Structure 1
């Protein structure tokens, strides 16, 4: 259990904190479903993410080695994003979480309603 100690580096906490934000998993799923994409295409596909937040999310995912950014020396410059092998290896786990959420969402909502009725 020393890997989960609050004063040391915990890989589980570190990864979950990076992927547990509002947009990271959605960006990864979008890139997985569509392959190589330009920024504007990712933005259009997700819809309600701001350009600033998409930029921050893509930079974070790139820094973690989950997304690759390729810049083409053209006028105007073209930038494309895709999953790395590491990012692709995460997809089955995200899909498993999505399946679990879909299967259990009604039960979770029922429990939330019971608790909110008690308050």
Structure 2
């Protein structure tokens, strides 16, 4: 399989993952709403509710981020720029795309980006 064929095959995989993530996100948002709508009894119950709400919120945030990355990848596919690193412009290795189909950067540029975020934090 050529690189072009491989990249084309990722389109349906990305679309499926995007739909799965949208579904999971809807469930989590419904669960968050349900947690907020429940009338809670004592202080312990409110603590459990707050903890559960925080966990569901973090999961929803993570899935929202992944969905945005998937949608960006689908846009790059549409524009003909998928598979090229956003920073250095070099082709992203196929093994990286197999592991993370929505990857926007090669490993080196991603590590540079993440180390910059760590320094800024």
Task: Give the structure-2-normalised TM-score.
Answer: 0.28
Whichever structure has more strand as a proportion of its residues is 1
Q: Which has the higher contact order (CA 8 A, sep 6+)?
A: 2
Between structure 1 and structure 2, the one with the greater Rg is 2
